[in-house]
Amino acid sequence: MFKHLTGFAYNPSHVFHKNTVNQNHPENENRIKLSLNRIRQIQADKYVADYTDPSVHNEQLDFSLTDYILQEIHDDGYLQTLKKLEKMSQTEIDDLCRSFDSIAMTPESFKVAHEAAAYCVTLTKKVAEGELKNAFALVRPPGHHAHDDCPQGFCVLNNVAICSQLAIEKKYAKKVLIVDFDIHHGNGTQQFFYDDERVTYLSIHRYEHGNFWPHKRYSDYDCIGRGTGRGHNINIPINENGGTHHDYLCILFTIVIPFARELQPDMVFISAGFDACIGDPIGYMDVIPEIFPHYIYQLAPMCNGKIVAILEGGYNHSAVAVCVDMCLRVMIGEKPPYFKYNKVPRASTVISCMNAIGALREYWPYVNSFYDLAPYVAAGHQSVLPIFHDHFGISTTHTGNINQNNLRNLLNSHTPQIIKLPTTKLFNINMEFPMFNVKNIPVDPHANQYEDLFSVSSKLQLKNYGKN
Ligand SMILES: [Zn+2]
């Protein structure tokens, strides 16, 4: 019988976190609601272990572990401020929020964010301990802009940073990779691990030489980490708006896969923001949703499948639902969708990739560029844009000028398809555990691939940990 190995949860309290100043703000409860409807329509709920109601799995959310890690990540003063929200009036909270960048909260916001973090922590623990193969946390508020001492950009607690810290501290992983494909630079996440070689942060974000929010110089390709963390911060800035899946495929194959393969992370966290998707009212990009599951599919073999995806941005709610659908079904085991690859990536994307490799190659000797000495030789690219842009004088002009006929309802072109039984072999042990030398383990061709390989994988990991 099929064994549920993909974990899932959303935080039911999310409806109490809202923007009361701008009631039409797109970071609202419909982001979760539409996705949940979609999950039911495609019957993905049959194939996931749903931890949303802790009583189903006969256990409580691990708030004590969450609080322990929370204190490692966020400043005590900041946490105290958040805890005071529940006793404050909405007017007082609105005043407080004005001192932050792009933040709205309610008296319940800390409770909601705390619960979101606890779901992420619980799923991370299950994946790390081998009880789950992988997991998707459909939570809000998002987290990747949250800093140690302040909220930012709709984010309150940095879920991905909390889970990455948990993985390192509890020795679930020696090496963690965070892949952040939200359209915005996860500046909060970068800040936490900038000096830490144990957590490699890889962000793909719209940058436009600093003209896109959060307008930070440190989001550029040459900000590669500091101290022992040097080389472990990978920024891929997209410097022209209107990027498509051709750009994202270029980044996947020239950056994400080579770096992940060389790193060999024990766990991968995905800051799964879907605001790069076509039709997003904030991201203004032209990326089709089919690209995102390919990231998960390609990363799975690099980390023995141990992937935890956590929702970040995404503000066209129907588009988010389609993206969540596509990512979840790949995590369950379907092959990612086919799509047409009929254009070359834009020169500016190629240059960003080459520049990043040029800045990082000293630390990653096996990541190669088709330019010998990127970024210098990249200047020979025939439609070259300024590589060493003058970063001073970054303006805050809004640069989104894409024709918003793309602001469409993706549900029309992506009708729900009932999920099929897994067809891929993300856990093909002959392919994916070469370091454990398991080629001689006989594989019963009739055995359920997941149950069988899951047990092999657990045994191998026990054996491996036993050696250390
Ligand atoms: Zn975003």
Per residue in 290-342, pLDDT (tens digit) is 999 999 999 999 999 999 999 999 999 999 999 999 999 999 988 899 887 77
Instruction: State the Cα–Cα distance between residues 64 and 261, nearest whole angstrom.
Output: 34
Beta-strand pair 176-180/267-272 = parallel
pLDDT at 286: 87
What's the chain's average pLDDT? 83
| Average pLDDT of the residues in 264-268 | 97
Name 455's Cβ contacts closer than 8 Å, sequence gap at least 6: none
212 by Cβ neighbours in 10 Å (0-12 / 13-18 / 19+) ranks as: buried
Backbone angles phi, psi at 6, to 5 degrees: -95, 120
At residue 178, the 3 state secondary structure works out as strand
Confidence of residue 423 (pLDDT cuts 50, 70, 90): low
pLDDT in tens, 63-97: 999 999 999 999 999 999 999 999 999 999 999 99
Strands (E), 155-294: 176-180, 199-206, 233-238, 267-272
For residue 236 the two structure tokens come to 């891929």
Q: Give yes or no for a contact between 184 and 27, defined as CB atoms under 8 angstroms apart.
A: no
The residues pairing with 213 across neighbouring beta strands, listed in sequence order, are none
pLDDT at 456: 36
Amino acid of residue 287? V
- C-alpha 271 – ligand 1 centre gap (Å): 10
- What percent of the chain stands above pLDDT 70? 80
- C-alpha 180 – ligand 1 centre gap (Å): 10
- C-alpha 235 – ligand 1 centre gap (Å): 15
Instruction: State the Cα–Cα distance between residues 151 and 214, nearest whole angstrom.
Output: 13
Q: Which of 26-40, 61-75, 145-159, 407-421 has the lowest mean pLDDT?
A: 407-421
- C-alpha 100 – ligand 1 centre gap (Å): 17
Identify the CA nearest to 225 among candidates 258, 204, 201: 201
- What percent of the chain stands above pLDDT 90? 62
Beta-strand pair 307-311/48-50 = unpaired
The residues pairing with 267 across neighbouring beta strands, listed in sequence order, are 176
- Number of Cβ within 10 Å of residue 168's Cβ equals 21
Taking 90 as the threshold, does the pLDDT of residue 203 lie above it?
Answer: yes
| Average pLDDT of the residues in 2-29 | 89
- C-alpha 293 – ligand 1 centre gap (Å): 18
More confident residue, 54 or 62: 62
Name 3's Cβ contacts closer than 8 Å, sequence gap at least 6: 448, 450, 451, 454
| Average pLDDT of the residues in 218-241 | 94
Sign of CA dihedral 115, 167, 148, 324: negative
Q: Give the DSSP letter string of 138-171.
A: E-SS--TT--SS--BTTBSS-HHHHHHHHHHHTT
- C-alpha 157 – ligand 1 centre gap (Å): 15
Identify the CA nearest to 388 among candidates 399, 409, 374, 407: 374
- With b meaning 16 or more CB within 10 Å and e meaning fewer, what string describes 311-330? bbbbbbbbbbbbbbbbbbbb
Amino acid of residue 369? S
Q: Give yes or no for a contact between 367 and 224, defined as CB atoms under 8 angstroms apart.
A: no
Eight-class DSSP state of 85: G
Q: Which residues are catalytic?
A: 145
- C-alpha 279 – ligand 1 centre gap (Å): 14
Q: Which of 69-83, 347-361, 377-391 has the lowest mean pLDDT?
A: 377-391
Helix (H) or strand (E) segment spanning residue 50: strand 48-50
pLDDT in tens, 158-199: 999 999 999 999 999 999 999 999 999 999 999 999 999 999
Q: Which of 202-211, 262-271, 294-303, 447-456 has the lowest mean pLDDT?
A: 447-456
Tell me the pTM.
0.85
Domains and CATH numbers, the chain: 6-424 (3.40.800.20), 427-468 (no CATH)
Find tokens 């503000």 and name the residue. Answer: 315
Confidence of residue 400 (pLDDT cuts 50, 70, 90): very low
Backbone angles phi, psi at 433, to 5 degrees: -125, 45
For the chain, the distance separating the N- and C-terminal CA atoms, rounded to the nearest angstrom, is: 35
Instruction: State the Cα–Cα distance between residues 69 and 163, nearest whole angstrom.
Output: 8
More confident residue, 20 or 426: 20
- Number of Cβ within 10 Å of residue 428's Cβ equals 13
